[in-house]
Amino acid sequence: MEPTSTREQVVRLVLAAVREPGASFPGGADDAEIADLREAVGVPLPPELEEWLQVCKGDVIGPGGLYGVRQPGGATSIASMLELFPGWRERGWLPVAGDGNGDYYVLLTAGELAGQVGFVDQCDYDVLDHVVAGDLWTLVRNLLLADAGRA
């Protein structure tokens, strides 16, 4: 039976994603890892992001990786990306993925676009180029489908 919800599709795609040789699915973040991220980010995490992190704590899959909690030798963390781009925190942009070419996908947490995912182009990291998805689950599904050649 085909998965019916976007979330179910994402879970299936994450488990089946192509990884580097020897790499395996890292699993979901536990409460302590999510609390550590909350503290590092310094702003409340949207419930949708916490739900996603409980499924996948971050992984080196998709075109440029899916960011998550801090993990030794694992995927890039949301907190480390905010250290590189501190202005994003002030704008309410939480980096959730890269495109593999120096551009980023950010979960918007403030303003009229809150809950949607925006694209930040490398030509100006301080400008939201456009909205790419209505929510985080849709973004992850679309990235993984495209990476698998099924988009």
CATH number, residue 10: 3.40.1580.10
Whether pTM > 0.85 for this model: the answer is yes
For residue 141, pLDDT beyond 90: yes
Classify residue 84: in a domain, yes or no: yes
Classify residue 62: in a domain, yes or no: yes
Residue 52 is encoded by which pair of tokens? 């996603």
The CA distances from residue 132 to 25, 112, 142, in Å, are 26, 15, 10
* pLDDT tens track for 52-97: 999 999 999 999 999 999 988 778 999 999 999 999 999 999 999 9
Q: Which domain holds residue 121?
A: 6-147
Classify residue 13: in a domain, yes or no: yes
Give the pLDDT score at 151. Answer: 54
Give the pLDDT score at 109. Answer: 97
Classify residue 139: in a domain, yes or no: yes
Q: Give every CB contact of residue 107 below 8 A, 6+ residues apart in sequence.
A: 46, 48, 49, 93, 94, 95, 96, 115, 117, 136
**Residue carrying the six token digits 């593999």:** 100
Average pLDDT for the chain: 94
Classify residue 105: in a domain, yes or no: yes
**Residue carrying the six token digits 């075109």:** 63
Classify residue 1: in a domain, yes or no: no
Cα(27)–Cα(55) distance, integer angstroms: 7
Classify residue 113: in a domain, yes or no: yes
* pLDDT tens track for 89-125: 999 999 999 999 999 999 999 999 999 999 999 999 9
Classify residue 82: in a domain, yes or no: yes
Give the pLDDT score at 148. Answer: 84
- Going by pLDDT thresholds of 50, 70 and 90, the confidence category of residue 13 is very high
Number of domains in the chain: 1
**Contact criterion met (CB below 8 Å) for 138 and 6:** yes
